């Protein structure tokens, strides 16, 4: 027996960033293939599970959404505990949400790390790119920003148009598996 056993990975992945940047929309698009222009934010923590067939292995991504606590600009250590990766999201139409990215990254790095002391893999998402693609021209700046602030990479995403979300998730999973 045993020939049907697939190796399984369970990864806790945090989705953080300012209120209204599209965290919940990105998760719903990725996990449920839906988009709505009005979600009611409920206070608390929400989970969604995405199962990926990764070569001969199974990856279960447990996506942790936050709702209502964003306005404090930080989360508790308990919330971050044992996370293996993170998306930090900003809204390309609202510069203040980009400024907040650094604060979210510092909060994350100060409260969670891998067993070996390394920072967890974090991908920056420039969401709502259906509203304007001006970032494309600034790709070099964004690459440098990622280097300076310890992001493994960045993607322009749209939860509305389903752009780049699964690519970004695959990219993050690749990095998590490399650091595991």
Residues that bind ligand GDP (CB under 6 A): 19-25, 37-39, 127-128, 130-131, 158-160
Least distance in Å: CB of 127 to ligand GDP? 5
Least distance in Å: CB of 26 to ligand GDP? 7
Q: Could you tell me the end-to-end alpha-carbon distance of the chain, in angstroms, rounded to an integer?
A: 28
| SS3 state of residue 24 | helix
- Which residues are CB-neighbours of 165 under 8 A, at least 6 positions away? 26, 29, 30, 157, 159
- Which residues are CB-neighbours of 101 under 8 A, at least 6 positions away? 17, 88, 90, 124, 149
Closest to Mg ion by CB, 67 vs 163, is: 67
> E strands, 26-167, where?
44-54, 57-67, 85-91, 121-127, 153-156
* 114 binding partner (options ligand GDP, Mg ion, none; Cβ < 5 to 8 Å by kind): none
Determine the residue with CB nearest Mg ion: 24
Closest to ligand GDP by CB, 24 vs 122, is: 24
- HSE, CB side, 13 Å, CA atoms: give it for residue 33: 0
* 97 binding partner (options ligand GDP, Mg ion, none; Cβ < 5 to 8 Å by kind): none
Closest to Mg ion by CB, 17 vs 85, is: 17
Closest to ligand GDP by CB, 122 vs 127, is: 127
Residue 126, judged by CB atoms within 10 A of its CB (0-12, 13-18, 19+), counts as buried
Tell me which residues touch Mg ion (CB under 5 A): 23-24, 67
Least distance in Å: CB of 42 to Mg ion? 9
Of 83, 89, 77, nearest in space to 64 by CA = 83
Least distance in Å: CB of 53 to ligand GDP? 26
Least distance in Å: CB of 19 to Mg ion? 8
Determine the residue with CB nearest ligand GDP: 22
Closest to ligand GDP by CB, 114 vs 135, is: 135
Dihedral, CA atoms, 59, 175, 157, 77, nearest 10 degrees? 80
């Amino acid at each position: 027996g045993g020939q049907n056993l697939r190796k399984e990975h369970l990864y806790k992945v945090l989705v953080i960033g300012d209120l209204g940047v599209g965290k919940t929309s990105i998760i719903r698009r990725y996990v449920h293939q839906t988009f709505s222009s009005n979600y009611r934010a409920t206070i608390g923590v929400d989970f969604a599970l995405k199962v990926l067939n990764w070569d001969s292995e199974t990856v279960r991504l447990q996506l942790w959404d936050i709702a209502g606590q964003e306005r404090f600009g930080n989360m508790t250590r308990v919330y971050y505990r044992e996370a293996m990766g993170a998306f930090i999201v900003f809204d390309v139409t609202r510069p203040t949400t980009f400024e907040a990215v650094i604060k979210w990254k510092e909060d994350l790095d100060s409260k969670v790390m891998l067993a070996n002391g390394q920072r967890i893999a974090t991908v920056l998402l420039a969401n709502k790119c259906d509203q304007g693609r001006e970032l494309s021209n600034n790709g070099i700046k964004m690459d440098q920003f990622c280097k300076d602030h310890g992001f493994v990479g960045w993607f322009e995403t749209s939860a509305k148009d389903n752009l780049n979300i699964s690519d970004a998730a695959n990219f993050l999973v690749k990095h998590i598996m490399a650091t595991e």
